[in-house]
């Protein structure tokens, strides 16, 4: 909370107009010990009091469910949205490869959806949706398209050597 307070102080002192301040976090860690969903609920309750512009929930899979810390079969994003979505806008991310998946994700009530890997795989994702060409969206990375996708070598090495991170890489 001290970091959030300091960022907000610096922004207030150094900006003349609107400046967006949010907080991005992963709600759980797979390791034990590690952050649990119960820990995250305490965190987001406090963050919701900080008058932030958004909370960005970083997930590998938008629909993933809690590992430990709460007994709830709903997705983490649904739990978080219900808990604080009326106090601070929630951004969700994670394996939303098609417009239909994006629409389904919006039904949770989240304010925004982020596309990360999806935009690396198909940089024209948004344009294709805008032009009604959803059926042309590429949803798996092609191992031969590093140059075409303009992906720097360090990121490309991470993508191609981390099975399961990107669809198409096994």
How far apart, in whole angstroms, are the C-alpha atoms of residue 18 and residue 144? 43
Phi and psi at residue 56, in whole multiples of 5°?
-110, 110
- CA gap 9, 3 in Å, rounded: 10
Residue 97 C-alpha from the chain's centroid? 13
Name, in order, each residue with C-beta under 8 angstroms of 11's C-beta and a sequence gap of 6 or more: 19, 21
* Averaged pLDDT in 10-residue chunks for the chain of 170 residues: 97 94 94 93 98 96 94 95 97 95 96 96 96 96 93 95 88
Which residue, among 61, 73, 72, 53, has the nearest Cα to 26 in the 3D structure? 61
Is-above-0.85 flag for pTM?
yes
DSSP assigned state of 20: -
2-139: CATH topology is TIM Barrel (3.20.20)
pLDDT of residue 45: 98
| pLDDT at residue 2, rounded to an integer | 97
Backbone φ and ψ for 58, nearest 5 degrees, come out as -85, 115
Angle at CA 68, nearest 5°, toward 158 and 111? 70
Give the domain ranges of the chain: 2-139
pLDDT at 98: 94
The confidence score (pLDDT) of residue 64 equals: 95
């Amino acid at each position: 909370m001290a970091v959030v307070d300091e960022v907000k102080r610096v922004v207030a002192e150094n900006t003349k107009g609107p400046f967006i301040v949010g907080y991005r976090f992963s709600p759980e860690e797979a390791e034990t010990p590690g952050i649990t969903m119960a820990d995250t609920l305490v965190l987001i309750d406090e963050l919701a009091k900080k008058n932030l512009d958004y909370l960005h929930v970083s997930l590998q899979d938008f629909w993933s469910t809690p590992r430990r810390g709460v007994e709830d079969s709903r997705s983490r994003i649904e739990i978080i949205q219900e808990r604080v979505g009326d106090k601070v806008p929630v951004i969700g991310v994670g394996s939303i490869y098609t417009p239909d998946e994006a629409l389904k994700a919006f039904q949770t009530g989240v304010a925004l959806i982020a596309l990360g890997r999806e935009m690396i795989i198909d940089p024209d994702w948004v344009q294709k949706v805008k032009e009604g060409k959803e059926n042309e969206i590429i949803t798996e990375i092609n191992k031969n398209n590093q140059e075409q996708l303009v992906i720097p070598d360090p990121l490309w090495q991470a993508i191609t050597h981390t099975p399961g991170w990107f669809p198409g890489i096994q």
